[in-house]
Amino acid sequence: MRRVALDVLLAVAARDAYANLLLPRLIAQRHLSGRDAGLATELTYGTLRGRGTYDAVLAVCCDRDLGALDPAVLEVLRLGTHQLLATRIQPHAAVATSVSLVKEVGGQRPSGLVNAVLRRVASRDLASWLEIVAPAREADPFGYLAVRYSHPRWVVGAFAAALGEAASSGLAQTEAVLAADNTRPVVHVCAVPGLATREELLAGGCTAARWSPFGGYLAEGDPALISAVAEGRGGVQDEASQLAAVALTRVDAGMPDDRWLDVCAGPGGKAAADRTSRARCSPRPRYASTGRG
């Protein structure tokens, strides 16, 4: 499980890979299922969410510049720090498995460093480390929130500006948004309109989505065990993406030809949902998409 998580972290760092696309593929290729697949998922996404905070802690615990470390060593340290500070994995297990992992990918030489650094990390809990590594809230509120919630400082500033909050106000709304943004999400599943129904998602263990008429929330378990997903009539898709497709079906383009060209599609999830939902929900006859821009 940890090797899968590490491989995803390395791919994200080296080539800006999409974790949400690579992780399921590696889980399938390496035949992980059940709790093993769940742990690989938590370790991957949890480490990515907390990387800014974890790097601040590691910078204190490591006697070398983090940027000078071998990429695999740095990612193993981040992965170990997440286990120590944000999971229920026992400290000795988190340290031992991290040492074994770095030996597997980097040989014997960096194992001593990883062992020493993670033992220092394990000496305090996350709240205690934040008191040490985060700037004082009163002196640097943006810096404090950036480290506390693992967001780049410019993102903290952008949220504050969008909410109309100044540093002197206490940034309560900004902090609430940052905290929400760090919450581990449930899986959002979409029943492709015209091919599947939300009732099929509910029968597969989902609860009904709050906003999307085609969506469901899966708190735990494997989405591929839902028949509609396994058969390609549904899939994992954020509710916001589902709503983008719903909104597009209701737009009057004011043109005689009602075909649409999607020149910015990635995997094409919105395009697929919009094509079928348009046929079902709108009197307009057709929708066309390139699938990829």
Residue 287 lies in a domain: no
Structural domain span for residue 98: 2-126
Residue 201 lies in a domain: yes
Of 14, 9, 91, 10, nearest to 49 by C-alpha is 9
Same-domain status, 18 and 112: yes
Say how far apart CA 208 and CA 198 lie, in whole Å. Answer: 7
Same-domain status, 195 and 174: no
Say how far apart CA 28 and CA 217 lie, in whole Å. Answer: 22
Q: What is the pLDDT of residue 122?
A: 98
In the numeric block, which tokens belong to residue 10?
């390395």
Count of domains forming the chain: 3
Same-domain status, 141 and 78: no
Flag whether pLDDT at 266 surpasses 90.
Answer: no
CA distances from 222 to 9, 106, 182 (A): 21, 32, 22
Same-domain status, 144 and 113: no
Q: What is the value of pTM for the model shown?
A: 0.78
Q: What is the pLDDT of residue 292?
A: 32
pLDDT tens column, 1-51 = 899 999 999 999 999 999 988 998 999 999 998 889 889 999 999 999 999
186: pLDDT confidence band, cut at 50, 70 and 90? confident
Q: What is the pLDDT of residue 248?
A: 78
Distance of CA 88 to the CA centre of its chain: 20
Flag whether pLDDT at 291 surpasses 80.
Answer: no
Flag whether pLDDT at 277 surpasses 60.
Answer: no
Flag whether pLDDT at 281 surpasses 70.
Answer: no
Say how far apart CA 209 and CA 272 lie, in whole Å. Answer: 19
Residue 192 lies in a domain: yes
Same-domain status, 45 and 155: no
Residue 202 lies in a domain: yes
Same-domain status, 51 and 147: no
pLDDT over 70, % of the chain: 87
Same-domain status, 72 and 109: yes
* Angle formed by the axes of helices 269-281 and 239-249, nearest 10°: 40
The DSSP result for 163-186, as a single string, is HT--GGGT-HHHHHHHHHHTSPPP
Span 123-132, mean pLDDT? 97
Span 128-139, mean pLDDT? 96
Average of per-residue pLDDT values in the chain: 88
Flag whether pLDDT at 57 surpasses 80.
Answer: yes
Flag whether pLDDT at 290 surpasses 70.
Answer: no
Contacts of 80 (CB under 8 A, 6+ apart): 94, 95, 97, 98, 114, 118, 121
Same-domain status, 114 and 217: no
Residue 8 lies in a domain: yes
Residue 95 lies in a domain: yes
Exposure class string for 75-97: b at 16+ Cβ within 10 A, else e = bbbbbbbbbbbbeebebeebbeb
Which CATH number belongs to the domain containing residue 24 in this structure? 1.10.940.10
Flag whether pLDDT at 286 surpasses 50.
Answer: no
Same-domain status, 83 and 169: no
Residue 288 lies in a domain: no
Flag whether pLDDT at 288 surpasses 80.
Answer: no
Same-domain status, 163 and 261: no
Residue 77 lies in a domain: yes
Same-domain status, 72 and 46: yes
pLDDT tens column, 87-127 = 999 999 999 999 999 999 999 999 999 999 999 999 999 99
